[in-house]
Structure 1
C-alpha cells in the first residue's frame, strides 16, 4: 500500500541528490520540496486505492479477531 509513495520519494531524492552533486548546490529545501510535491501528486491519484485497501484489511483483521474470542 505504501510502495507508490516510497518509490516516488526514493526516486525524487536520488534525482535531487545527483543534481546537487553535479552542481554543488547544497540547499536543504531543494530536497524537501520535490518530495513533498511528489507525495501530494501520488496521494491525489492513488489515495482512493490506498484507503480502500487499508479499510478492507482492517475489516478482515476485525473479522478474524472476533473469531478468536468466540
Structure 2
C-alpha cells in the first residue's frame, strides 16, 4: 500500500514539474530577449521585463492551458480511481 502511495506522490510531483516547465521556459526566454533589448537601447525600466514575462505566461496559459490540463486530468482520475485501495 505504501508503495502505491509513494508512486502516486512521485508521479504527481513529476507532473507538476512538467506542467511548470513550459511557462517557466517561456518567461525565461522573454526575459532574456527583453534584457538584451534593454541593454542595447539603454532603457533602465525595472517593470518592463516583468510586464512582458507576465503577459507571456498569461497568454501561454490562456491558449495552451487546455493542452496542459489533459495530463493533469488523467493523473487526477488515476488517483481518484485508486483512492479506495490506498485508504484501506
TM-score by length of 1: 0.78
| CA shift for structure 1 position 23 | 2.0
* Structure 2: gaps spanning 5 or more residues: 1-18
**In structure 2, what is the equivalent of residue 23 of structure 1?**
41
Question: Matched residue pairs, number?
Answer: 70
- Equivalent residue runs for 1:4-19 within 5 Å: 4-19=22-37
Deviations 1:1-51 (A, max 9, x none): 222211110100111111122222110121122112211221122111212
Structure 1, unpaired ranges of 5+:
none
- Mapped to 2, the partners of 1:18 and 1:64 lie a distance apart of 49
TM-score in terms of structure 2 length: 0.65
- The structure 2 residue matched to 1:35, chosen from 53, 57, 69, is 53
Residue 56, structure 1, aligned to residue 69, structure 2:
no
1:66 aligns with 2:87: no
Query: Residue 21 of structure 1: SS of its match in structure 2?
Result: helix
Q: Provide the rounded CA distance (Å) in 2 between the counterparts of 1:26 and 1:50.
A: 35
